[in-house]
Chains A and B, each alone.
Chain A
């Protein structure tokens, strides 16, 4: 089954404790992206990657890092999480020829206390 998986689905952590949210897709997609969703602010893009070793900033990259060492994986790294990064995070992927037909993962609900 074609899918995008994210782990963990729920995470409660404390300020400053580094964490990684993993994202993996099994569709051999070139394009992958991370979004955060907050009430009243909608979906905002954090980072995206056009292919292995190619990443670029979205609209809200501050406080986040990403890497794309393998085509299927696109982890989101919070080096020093802060409470304002409490949010619902989505990973998405798409083919390089249909970038905007994105498949989204189920989401990761992160709480930073």
Chain B
């Protein structure tokens, strides 16, 4: 797996966009970037993934830099319910282990 680095915590005002960065400078050409979040002690929830193009779904947008060394998860209008730990992972292709790092704890404030 490519090593991923995320800030330990971030704050965001309710209604504003939350931009969560992830560095994955050792990612190889065919490794995807996946994002999950975990609200309190619930099971993690898959959000989105991408390879090199920007991706958007009903939950979030994923922007991957052209060199693929970093990405940003965007929650366009953060709500209090988006307060959670967000994990960025870049698993190796051909393997089936999943390694989660420490993630970013996002606090959305009213």
Residues of A within 8 A of B (CB): 4, 31, 33, 35, 37, 42-45, 48, 50, 56, 58-59, 88, 90, 92, 99-107, 109
Would you give the shortest CB distance from B67 to chain A, in whole angstroms?
A: 22
> Could you tell me if A106 and B46 are in contact, using CB atoms closer than 8 angstroms?
no
Would you give the shortest CB distance from B40 to chain A, in whole angstroms?
A: 10
Would you give the shortest CB distance from A82 to chain B, in whole angstroms?
A: 22
> Could you tell me if A90 and B44 are in contact, using CB atoms closer than 8 angstroms?
yes
Say whether chain A's binding surface is mostly helix, strand, loop, or mixed: strand
Residues of B within 8 A of A (CB): 32, 34, 36, 41-46, 49, 87, 89, 91, 96-103
Identify the interface centre among A48, A59, A101: most chain B CB within 10 Å of its CB: A101
| Bound Cα distance from A44 to B103, whole angstroms | 13
> Could you tell me if A92 and B43 are in contact, using CB atoms closer than 8 angstroms?
yes
> Could you tell me if B100 and A100 are in contact, using CB atoms closer than 8 angstroms?
no
Can you name 27 A-B residue pairings with CB atoms under 8 Å?
Answer: A4-B43, A33-B98, A35-B100, A42-B100, A42-B103, A43-B44, A43-B100, A45-B97, A45-B98, A45-B99, A48-B97, A58-B98, A59-B99, A88-B41, A100-B32, A100-B34, A100-B49, A100-B91, A100-B98, A101-B46, A102-B36, A102-B44, A103-B46, A104-B45, A105-B43, A107-B42, A109-B41
Residues of B within 8 A of A42 (CB): 100-103
Contacts A35-B98, A100-B49 known; list 10 others, CB within 8 Å.
A42-B101, A42-B102, A45-B97, A56-B96, A88-B41, A90-B44, A100-B98, A104-B43, A107-B41, A107-B43
Residues of A within 8 A of B44 (CB): 43, 90, 92, 102, 104
Residues of B within 8 A of A106 (CB): 42-43
Residues of A within 8 A of B32 (CB): 100
